Structure 1
Amino acid sequence: MTAPVPASPDPVPPVPEFIVTLPTRGDGARGDFGPPPPAPPAFVTDLRPGAYGPFDHLAEIGRAAEIAGFDGALAPFDAGGEESVVVTAGLLRASRWLRGAAGLHPGVATPVYAAKVSASLQRFSGGRLDWRLSVDLDPSVARAQGDFVEGPDRYARADEFLTIAKGVWHEDSYTYEGRFFQVLAGGFQAPLSDRPFPRVHLSGTSPEALDLSARHADVHVFDFAAAQPGVSRQGDVLDALIADLRARAAGHGRALAFGLTLPVLAREDEEEARAEAARRTAAGAPPSGLTGSYDQVADAIRGFAARGVTTFVLEAAPYVEETYRLGEHLLPLLATGTAPAAASDTVKEHEHAD
């Protein structure tokens, strides 16, 4: 059994990176994701479909992210949405430098096939592909995908998945025999192996999730719930998780970056942000995450950066408008290097609605 290939000696980027989230189920009424439109009346002779479809909308968001100065875009794994690898491939092909993070589930493809598809994506995107593994799916969702692995075995399988994917990428004659996957004399040769392996983003706070990241992740992305200001006997929850994961990774001779998923609703001033939050709440879609002025949200993000977070996965809808808005008004504030303020003192943090 071959040991996992370690990450680069210093995977932490020198400055924070900002990633937008793509709506793989459409953006409200936009994107045409859902049932097909009704048949046209009999007198309509041009039966060609509309010129604007779901992938046009996703491409618009990717274009907005690139123009607005974001570093990347995440297409999350969603069993009921568009296929994330296909979405990411379109994004990478249509952009010049934006990174694309594709959501993957270790139970829906073999690691060799996932690596092969990714090698081709790396080749035609200039090495801009990342992986975001979804390991701990809801059991009903997992079973609907044909996956009946449960409990800690999900992380054991993800460990094998990543070990094999990296192994076939870096060795032209690779053999592995595990509990979930086996490979005999596999491996890629040039040109497939010429590009770097995708950066691996993982998540979760269980001991199994942290151990998996310690062995394999380049970036561990915490959910916004981990950033809540609650304090335990071990100190702040987020600080404790970062310290724990740093120690686990050091035990494997590795270092990794830390990320945070942040739903954001930012406006010119706090009053305007509150009014928009109230409007969304009345419409049945209460915001969760950070709500406030651009300055307040920027201060909150600086506070998280001071605690070791370097990758921020922002969620903001409607996606095209909010991507441009955040790129124009928020990102420039985060390039000034001003002193951070405590997140809880500068911006309202809404709890996630489960």
Structure 2
Amino acid sequence: MTAAPEFVVAVPTRGDGARGDWGPGPAPRPAFLTDLRDGAYGPFDHLAQIGRAAEIAGFHGVSVPFDPAGEESLVVTAGLLRQSRWLRGTAGFHPGVATPVYAAKVAASLQRFTGGRLDWRLAIDLDPAVARAQGDFAEGAERYARADEFLTIARGVWHEDSYTYEGRYFQVLAGGFQAPLSDRPFPRVHLSGTSAEALDLSARHADVHLFDAADATGAAGAEGGGLGALIADLGARAAGYGRAVASGLVLPVLAREDGAEVRAEVARRAAAGTPVPALAGSYEEVAAVLRGHLADGVTTFVLEAAPHLEETYRLGEHLLPLLTEEVPHAG
């Protein structure tokens, strides 16, 4: 039986347009005001509104990316999950910034606080300048070997109360969690990339492998077969380890009622210097593209649309009903 698709909305960690304190500063207060205290509404209040919009609009979850110049994704994800009842939250982070035992301990607490709704998305293949700015000087295939150890240990200490591991990058001696920390499920792991190392790491560890828009439209894959070939390659690798890995797709989207509205919005964004997503069309047109990816084997869609608050409501009201008419809400 084919798994029901999951629809996830991306949440920004570096502001949403000019909102919060990431955009231009507030206008000077008029001289006649005597109360000079800052307002109570800040950047995290806006992020909370996006999370609330995602839950109201019927999305299954939110994805908070790793961004060295943005807010810490685990903090943002924790806040969004604590204020919601049904959403899953995927926190992106770099496996070089903490030991796997510490990362697992943080995740165990977040799973307890949120009813087991935390997922992980590891950012492994960073730009070298970004990685070094994070204190990470691993290169090439070494990054994936370290991530393999990281995930092996994180799962090990979660499921065993006397766990020992001797690796090249990490060592643990008689570690591990006991109840109640170990009572919640381990976070679902999201990985990405199209290299042989990336696909093999997912085959061993991922619950969901995320491809991107370029993979969906280009001739990616060893045989130039595009997304279908990549999904087949991933499936064969996972089967070799006795596992199955779901396939996901990260898509920047712009959807409107009809072509005229789409063209008007594209023109407005072009005039403002705002990037226009490659997937732009009417709700029906965008839904048709997503149905095609469903047929390819994609079961998780991470939709990126800005400004995030307004577009989350828009996509939830007009696009999701075209795709989830018989899909129960994930809880």
What TM-score does the superposition give when structure 1 sets the normalisation length? 0.88
Match of residue 213, structure 1, among 202, 218, 225: 202
Match of residue 236, structure 1, among 225, 229, 240: 225
CA contact (8 A) 2:246 2:298 kept: yes
Q: Over the residues paired in the alignment, what is the CA RMSD in angstroms?
A: 1.9
Residue in structure 2 matched with residue 316 of structure 1 by the alignment: 305
CA contact (8 A) 2:88 2:119 kept: yes
Give the deviation of 1:230 after TM superposition.
4.0
Match of residue 260, structure 1, among 233, 249, 253: 249
Letter in 2 for 1:126: G
Give the deviation of 1:14 after TM superposition.
2.3
Q: In the aligned structure 1, how far is the partner of 2:310 from the partner of 2:35?
A: 32
Q: In the aligned structure 2, how far is the partner of 1:40 from the partner of 1:299?
A: 49
Letter in 2 for 1:115: A
Residue in structure 1 matched with residue 121 of structure 2 by the alignment: 132
| Unaligned segments of structure 2, at least 5 residues | 327-331
Letter in 2 for 1:24: T
Q: In the aligned structure 2, how far is the partner of 1:31 from the partner of 1:127?
A: 29
Residue in structure 1 matched with residue 42 of structure 2 by the alignment: 53
Give the deviation of 1:236 after TM superposition.
2.7
CA contact (8 A) 2:12 2:64 kept: yes
Structure 1 residues 29 and 249: alpha-carbon distance in aligned structure 2, compared to 1, 3 A threshold:
same
Letter in 2 for 1:113: Y
Q: Return 57-66 or 228-237, whichever deviates more.
A: 228-237
What TM-score does the superposition give when structure 2 sets the normalisation length? 0.94
Residue in structure 2 matched with residue 122 of structure 1 by the alignment: 111
Letter in 1 for 2:186: F
3-state SS of 2:91 partner: strand
- Residues 22-77 of structure 1: CA deviation (Å, up to 9, x unaligned): 11000110122268768868986544322111100100000000000000001100
Residue in structure 2 matched with residue 271 of structure 1 by the alignment: 260
- Residues 277-304 of structure 1: CA deviation (Å, up to 9, x unaligned): 1211121113123100000000100000
- Runs of 4 or more consecutive aligned structure 1 residues displaced over 2 Å after TM superposition: 33-49, 229-236
Residue in structure 2 matched with residue 16 of structure 1 by the alignment: 5
Q: In the aligned structure 2, how far is the partner of 1:315 from the partner of 1:333?
A: 18
- Residues 154-180 of structure 1: CA deviation (Å, up to 9, x unaligned): 001100110000000000000111111
CA contact (8 A) 2:191 2:209 kept: yes
Letter in 1 for 2:254: L
Q: In the aligned structure 2, how far is the partner of 1:235 from the partner of 1:152?
A: 22
Structure 1 residues 36 and 336: alpha-carbon distance in aligned structure 2, compared to 1, 3 A threshold:
closer
Match of residue 181, structure 1, among 163, 170, 174: 170
Q: Return 286-295 or 98-107, whichever deviates more.
A: 286-295
3-state SS of 2:17 partner: coil
Pairs aligned (count) = 326
Match of residue 69, structure 1, among 55, 58, 82: 58
Letter in 2 for 1:173: S
Q: In the aligned structure 1, how far is the partner of 2:2 from the partner of 2:248?
A: 11
Residue in structure 2 matched with residue 348 of structure 1 by the alignment: none
Give the deviation of 1:274 after TM superposition.
1.9
Residue in structure 1 matched with residue 93 of structure 2 by the alignment: 104
Letter in 1 for 2:189: V
Structure 1 residues 97 and 13: alpha-carbon distance in aligned structure 2, compared to 1, 3 A threshold:
farther
3-state SS of 1:335 partner: coil
Q: In the aligned structure 2, how far is the partner of 1:325 from the partner of 1:131?
A: 27
Residue in structure 2 matched with residue 342 of structure 1 by the alignment: none
Residue in structure 1 matched with residue 278 of structure 2 by the alignment: 289
Q: In the aligned structure 1, how far is the partner of 2:222 from the partner of 2:135?
A: 41
| Unaligned segments of structure 1, at least 5 residues | 1-11, 338-354
CA contact (8 A) 2:89 2:117 kept: yes
Is 1:156 aligned with 2:145?
yes
Q: Describe how 1:31-46 pairs up with structure 2 within 5 A.
A: 31-33=20-22, 46=35
CA contact (8 A) 1:13 1:257 kept: no
Q: In the aligned structure 2, how far is the partner of 1:147 from the partner of 1:212?
A: 19
Is 1:28 aligned with 2:7?
no
Q: In the aligned structure 2, how far is the partner of 1:232 from the partner of 1:152?
A: 18
CA contact (8 A) 2:161 2:175 kept: yes
Q: In the aligned structure 2, how far is the partner of 1:245 from the partner of 1:311?
A: 15
3-state SS of 1:193 partner: helix
